[in-house]
Amino acid sequence: MKNILTINNLPVGQKGKIKTINGGYGLIQKLDALGIREGIEVARISTQWMKGPVIIRYGNSEVAIGHNMATKIVVEPV
């Protein structure tokens, strides 16, 4: 079994498959509206200094999500 990490712990440039989202209904719905849901593959593109947003890529989209939001998205590196 591979390591399980949150998106903010995934090294920049590495891809991971979303295993679960550890958040409430509101967070899950917000991420779902962006197309971020369990089972998709995402890549961490960059991060900002001092717990700023984390930029991820999935499919043909790139989005910045907050640091706290990123700590709730659990991925398995691929």
User: In CATH, what number is assigned to the domain containing residue 28?
Assistant: 2.30.30.90
- Find the domain containing 14 and state its range: 5-77
Q: Is the pLDDT of residue 42 over 70?
A: yes
Mean pLDDT calculated for residue range 54-71: 94
Amino acid identity at 54 = V
* DSSP 8-state code for residue 10: S
Instruction: Sort residue 35 into left (φ over 0), alpha (ψ -120 to 50) or beta.
Output: left
Mean pLDDT calculated for residue range 15-20: 96
Rounded CA separation 73/31 (Å): 10
Number of domains in the chain: 1
Q: Where residue 2 falls among pLDDT bands split at 50, 70, 90?
A: low
Provide the percentage of residues in the chain whose pLDDT is more than 90: 82
pLDDT for position 49: 78
**Cα distances (angstroms) measured from residue 21 to each of 15, 49, 50, 55:** 16, 24, 23, 17
Residue with tokens 């999500």: 65
Rounded CA separation 1/72 (Å): 20
Amino acid identity at 53 = P
